[in-house]
Amino acid sequence: MNLDALFAMFKEARRLSGHTDFVVIGSLSILGLEQSFEIPDTMTLSNDVDCFTQADPGRIFDIVKSLGENSPYHEKSGYFLDPVSPDLPTLPEGWHDRLIKVERDGLRAWFLDPNDAALSKYARGEPRDRRWIKAGILAGVVSMPIVKSRVGSTSFFDADEEQRARALIEEDRAWFEFVKDSRSDTSPGNSKSPQ
């Protein structure tokens, strides 16, 4: 998926709904950085666009038949709209203020900040979410210090979800420290010898 395909879908969504502003959450929210950053392929593998209409979030559900999974649009393009409620994901305080805006042809797409998306994915904790997060960490668009700083202001579903997310964050922090250390140990000019 890329911005061209996304805006083609939103053009059709505008025709059907009359709305011009769409908020993208989930994996494809990373497309908000496409114009300024080479996004790893592993972060854009999804074919479902988790989004809602900004002015009237419930309106997005009215166009599922035309743009949703197994719709003619999905069969033709390979992509589909997956309507969500803004209250659905586990997100930190202030996420609305950090949305990344991309404008094209009178349409505006608002993308979740990658660190906020990562927190939502830590809450879910599925293997595909972990792959997305790790790719983002390695690419430098997901920052473990920022993620950790926002955990405290995140509204988790319950204490179990929060505990699981915190454990996964710590696991990835340790993993990334190991990766960084491994890279510095093998960089040219490093005088460290294996123990």
What's the pLDDT score for residue 183? 78
Is there a single domain that holds both residue 27 and residue 63?
yes
Domain check: are 38 and 69 in the same one? Answer: yes
**90, 113, 136 - which closes a domain:** 113
Map residue 23 onto helix, strand or coil: strand
Residues 82 and 37 in one domain: yes
Cα-trace Rg, the chain: 18
Tokens of 11: 């053009």
Domain finish residue from 113, 134, 164: 113
Of the three residues 86, 113, 140, the one that is the final residue of a domain is 113
Q: Please indicate, yes or no, whether residues 73 and 146 belong to a single structural domain of this protein.
A: no
Identify whether residues 12 and 104 lie together within a single domain.
yes
SS3 label, residue 113: coil
Q: Which two tokens stand for residue 16?
A: 């059907």
The residues, ordered by sequence, that sit 6+ positions from 194 with a Cβ below 8 Å of its Cβ are none
Q: What is the pLDDT of residues 99-157, one digit of tens each?
A: 999 999 999 999 999 999 999 999 999 999 999 999 999 999 999 999 999 999 999 99
Question: Both 19 and 104 in a single domain?
Answer: yes
Record the pTM.
Answer: 0.89
Residues in contact with 42: Cβ distance below 8 Å, sequence separation at least 6, in sequence order = 131, 132, 135
User: What average pLDDT does the segment 24-45 reach?
Assistant: 94
Q: What is the percentage of the chain residues whose pLDDT exceeds 90? A: 86
Give residue 89's pLDDT band: very low, low, confident or very high (50, 70, 90). Answer: confident
Q: pLDDT tens digits for 145-154?
A: 999 999 999 9
Task: State in Å, rounded, how far the first CA of the chain is from the last one.
Answer: 45
Asked if residue 195 is part of any domain, the answer here is no
Determine the average pLDDT of the residues in 6-17: 97
Res 73 pLDDT > 70: yes
**Which residues, at least 6 apart from 150, have a Cβ–Cβ distance to it below 8 Å?**
92, 93, 115, 116, 119
Examine residue 33 and state whether it is found in any structural domain, yes or no.
Answer: yes
pLDDT band at residue 187 using 50, 70 and 90 as cut-offs: low
Domain-located, residue 55: yes
Q: Which of 28-32, 65-69, 86-90, 112-116 has the lowest mean pLDDT?
A: 86-90
Structural domain contains residue 190: no
The parent domain of residue 64 ranges over 3-113
Residue 68 vs residues 77, 79, 130: alpha-carbon distances, Å: 11, 8, 25
Residue 193 belongs to some domain of the structure: no
51 pLDDT above the threshold of 90: yes
Q: Say if 191 falls within a structural domain.
A: no
Residue that the structure tokens 């010898």 belong to: 193
Contacts of 101 (CB under 8 A, 6+ apart): 32, 108, 109, 110, 111
- Provide the domain count of the chain: 2
Domain match, 35 and 120 both: no
Does one domain contain both 74 and 102?
yes
- At residue 190, the pLDDT reads 55
Confidence of residue 192 (pLDDT cuts 50, 70, 90): very low
- Confidence band of 33 (pLDDT split at 50, 70, 90): very high
Residue linked to tokens 């890329």:
2
